[in-house]
Amino acid sequence: AMEILHRAEKAGLVLQTGNAKKALFICTCCGCCCGALRSIKSDPCPASRVSTPFVACLNQDTCTGCGICLKRCQMDAIELHNGRAWVDTDRCIGSGLCVSTCPTASFYLLRKPRAKQPYVPGTLIETYIRLGRASNRMSVSSLIKMKINSVTDRWNTFNE
């Protein structure tokens, strides 16, 4: 498992779970192929859509502006300004891909204060419902239908 994680990090893939306290899976994804990351990336403020307690920070004094971090960031949260990297914290989802390859060790992950850490839904169903509400793509009736289908599916699975 560790070898898979090392290979994924080397390839610049984002390690993510089902975004719930009761995680059902762990995957490694990129922002061009993964539907979830692609959807999050299209949001003007991706950081508000994920439950990450971390944000990338940068020591401007040691940054050489090499641009490796720009290529690694799946959310396009890093730009070059005056020959130095700059982090858009509204876009940063705290993946750490900039940290692991910075040749000058200028990047680091900072844990957000507890009051600024987002709510982590209890289950994946709750996550999907919250995302549907946030994007205004789901009506109240479709949310109710999803909840009923979820309960029915669990009931049917339990009684098989």
For the cut 80, the answer to whether the pLDDT of residue 71 exceeds it is: yes
What pLDDT, on the 0 to 100 scale, is given for residue 63? Answer: 97
For the cut 80, the answer to whether the pLDDT of residue 104 exceeds it is: yes
For the cut 90, the answer to whether the pLDDT of residue 26 exceeds it is: no
* pLDDT one-digit tens code per residue, 111-159: 999 888 878 888 877 877 777 777 676 676 776 777 777 777 767 766 6
Nearest partner of 16 among 45, 54, 42, judged by Cα: 54
Q: Three-state secondary structure along the chain?
A: CHHHHHHHHHCCCEEEECCCCCCCCEEEECCCCCHHHHHHHHCCCHHHCCCCCEEEEECCCCCCCCCHHHHHCCCCCEEEECCEEEECCCCCCCCCHHHHHCCCCCEEEEECCHHHCCCCCCCHHHHHHHHHHHCCCCCHHHHHHHHHHHHHHHHHHHCC
What pLDDT, on the 0 to 100 scale, is given for residue 56? Answer: 96
What pLDDT, on the 0 to 100 scale, is given for residue 118? Answer: 78
Q: What is the pTM of this model?
A: 0.74
